[in-house]
Structure formats: structure tokens, C-alpha cells
Amino acid sequence: MAQLILMPDKERSALKRHPWLFAGSVGRLVGRARAGDTVEVLADDGRPLGRAAYSPQSQIRARFWTFDAAETVDDAFFKRRIATAVARRAALPELAGQEGLRLVHAESDGLPGVIADRYGDTVVVQLTSAGADKWRSAIVAGLVKATGCDRVYERSDSDVRGLEGLAPTTGWIHGTAPSVPLSIGENGVRLGVDIAGGHKTGFYLDQRENRRLLAELAGEKEVLNCFCYTGGFSLQALAGGAASVLSIDSSGPALAQARANLALNPHLPGVRAEWLEADVFQALRDFRKEGRQFDLIVLDPPKFAPSAAHADRASRAYKDINLLGCRLLRPGGLLMTYSCSGGIGLELFQKIVAGAALDAGRDARIVRRLAGSADHPVALNFPEGEYLKGLLVQVD
């Protein structure tokens, strides 16, 4: 096994069990290692720090599999880690019976670059790092064993694979496609899931509890759902008794799936739902000119800042959308606003929303801080895993 020797005094993050080693921390590689190979990581003075997956093309030069220098990284290792991740979720009562569930959450489950979501009897896996790609067969076997699922579909087509020197890969890697369209039940609502063409692995499971909260808040309110995608928040608002729900997205196919999702739920008052294909920013400006107002607005935009380098430009976009949201709320209205950008931290996001309310001439207060669902844990040694942050704000 090759050895990755760190630069002097660069072992601190590894000693704190942070899973990433950046290129600037690496001194030299002793021996040969290809992309995805497991290497021993040593401090400059020779102290063993653990074993990691080597990625010569990435700025994240290595990702730790284990901080135990004696632990073997083999097929059994991945089966153990996956079984542990699945068992963690089974131990949480709030996740019991969920048909849509994140099974493995990458670094926060000790498996960097591995995402696995379960939709009924189908698992969708996303492998985003060279190490995860190298151990594809072991990971799939571990998922099948831990879940008993008949089907595994791969959605390894995210942009970050390019940073690892990996090509996109999608398709069935265990079992065959189901004979009927895939759907899941969530908090009393049925939702179709497009695992081949949808965002991420097909759906945004991380917003499950926030959608439930929206249902609790929506009674008799006029709701505006921006960047609605396939209507998860919209349908929960209807289930919660909203007087009306206007949903906006720029994607025609996403709205088509949203309408199909509504059709899956004949118990919901579909006459109260309106779908609008439009640029959200422009639509909100038009509503402002028309004097329209709402009681509850959901802002769940796409990732504006994939990294800290994009934070300035993203901050302006978040400021703009939240400013428009504040102006469109009736006094006492609720703004449910989110950022899924890793380059925008919670403190900065709160400052952006505060600035938006100030510029809108509105007094506002945080009612609740919002985060991802319990199946999307954040390891304490990996705060970068807290990508989804949100605020429930009451605006006077």
C-alpha cells in the first residue's frame, strides 16, 4: 500500500478526524497509487493517521475511510459501514415507515462520496469520489444485503465527478426497472419519483420534515411556493388546508410531474392549486407590480453557490429573492426560506435575509431555524455536511 506523507504541521485536521485532505497539505506519495486506491496517511514525523482514498486530480487529494491505521479497507469494510448507517436510521422513531429515506449520507456516515437513497424497494446510489467509484461493487452488495431491496439504480452524474477525473455513469446496476412508475408516500401524500431524470437521486428527501411543518402552517392561507420542482411543498400545503397554492418553476417537465403528483392524490383539493411556468425572479417582480400578496411564501431555490468562491454572487441572488418575498407578504405573514448552497453558511444566510427584510422596510423575526431531515445527519467532525439551512420568518 502506498503512503501519503503530509507536509510538516499539516496533520491537525486529520487528528480532529476531518475526512478531507487538501492538496496543499500533502508532501509526497511514497509508492504507486492510482485514482481511488487506498493509501496509508502519515504525518511528516511518521505517525500513522489512517487510511484514505487517493484522488490525484482533485484538490481534495484524499478522503479518509478510517482513522484507525490498522483497519483493513475491503469488501467487508463497506458492508459493515453501510449496515451501520442503515441501523442508525432504523433506531430513529421519526423515520419509521418512511418509503423515501436516505440510507447513506457520505462523509457523515463515514463513507465519503457515497450517497444512497431508498424509494420503496429501489435504492438509488450516487458515487461522487474516486474512492467510492473504485469500490462500486462492494457498495452495491452492501446496500442489497442491508436493505433486502431488489433493485439498485446508479445516478453518478453530478458535476463533482469531473473534478475527480470521473465520467458520468447512470443505469441499473442490480435488478431491473420496476413494471410500474416509482412513487413514495410521505406524510399522507403520494409522490412520483423520477430516478433517471429527476434532480439528485430523483427527489429532495432532505426537506421531508420541513414539508410536514408547512402542512401544519398552511391552514386557510394563500400560499406561494417558489422553485416548486415536482410540488412536494405544494401538495403538503394543500393537505394542510391551504386556501390556495400558487406554485412556480421554470421547468416544464418538473411542473408536469407536479401535476401528475397531484393526480396521485384525489383526496387533495386540486381546484385550489395553480401551476405557473416562469422565471421566479421575474414572476415575483410582476406580482409586486400587480399588488398581489400572500400569507405564506416558500423560497427553496437551487444551489446558487456550489463553493465559497461563488458566495458574493450567490448572496446577491439570495438577497434579491428574499427581498421580493418580504414585499409580497401580508403583515404577519410567514416566509419559509432556504439555502442549499455549501458556500453560504448559516450565519451569512441569516444576515442576507435580515438585510432583505430591512430593505423591504419590514420588521421580521425568526420563528424557527430549519435544517435537513434526520436521515441527513451532520457529523460533528464534518460541519461542511450541513449544506441545507433554512429560516421560518414572521414578517410584519
Domain spanning 75-174, CATH architecture: 2-Layer Sandwich (3.30)
Ranges in the chain annotated CATH 3.40.50.150: 183-395
Q: What separation, in Å, do the N-terminal and C-terminal C-alpha atoms of the chain show? A: 63
Q: Which CATH number fits domain 3-66: 3.90.1150.10, 2.30.130.10, 1.20.1300.10, 3.40.50.720?
A: 2.30.130.10
**pLDDT, tens digit (0-9, with 9 covering 90-100), for 187-232:** 999 999 999 999 999 999 999 999 999 999 999 999 999 999 999 9
**Residue carrying C-alpha cell 394563500:** 222
pLDDT at 299: 98
Closest CA to 218 of 119, 295, 289: 295
pLDDT at 307 over 80: no
pLDDT at 303: 85
pLDDT at 228: 98
Residue 237 binned pLDDT confidence (cut-offs 50, 70, 90): very high
pLDDT at 212: 97
Residue 337 binned pLDDT confidence (cut-offs 50, 70, 90): very high
pLDDT at 67: 98
d(CA 292, CA 375) in angstroms, rounded, equals 38
d(CA 42, CA 48) in angstroms, rounded, equals 5
pLDDT at 343: 83
3-state SS record for the chain: CCEEEECCCCCHHHHCCCCEEEHHHEEEEECCCCCCCEEEEECCCCCEEEEEEECCCCCEEEEEEECCCCCCCCHHHHHHHHHHHHHHHHCCHHHCCCCEEEEEEHHHHCCCCEEEEEECCEEEEEECCHHHHHCHHHHHHHHHHHHCCCEEEEEECCCHHHHCCCCCEEEEEECCCCCCCCEEEECCEEEECCCCCCCCCCCCHHHHHHHHHHHHHCCCCEEEEECCCCCHHHHHHHHCCCCEEEEEECCHHHHHHHHHHHHCCCCCCHHHEEEEECCHHHHHHHHHHHCCCEEEEEECCCCCCCCHHHHHHHHHHHHHHHHHHHHHEEEEEEEEEEECCCCCCHHHHHHHHHHHHHHCCCCEEEEEEEECCCCCCCCCCCHHHCCCEEEEEEEC
Burial 135-144 (b: 16+ CB within 10 A, else e): bbebbbbbbb
Mean pLDDT of 371-381: 97
pLDDT at 110 over 70: yes
pLDDT at 311 over 90: no
Residue 305 binned pLDDT confidence (cut-offs 50, 70, 90): low
Whole-prediction pTM = 0.94
Mean pLDDT of 316-344: 95
**Cell, residue 30:** 511514497
Amino acid identity at 325: G
pLDDT at 169: 97
pLDDT at 306 over 80: no
Domain 183-395 has CATH 3.40.50.150: yes
340 catalytic per annotation: yes
Mean pLDDT of 329-335: 98
**pLDDT, tens digit (0-9, with 9 covering 90-100), for 243-283:** 999 999 999 999 999 999 999 999 999 999 999 999 999 99
Ranges in the chain annotated CATH 2.30.130.10: 3-66
pLDDT at 308: 67
Catalytic residue among 226, 228, 326, 340: 340
Ranges in the chain annotated CATH 3.30.750.80: 75-174
Mean pLDDT of 343-351: 91
pLDDT at 10: 96
Q: What percent of the chain has pLDDT over 90?
A: 95
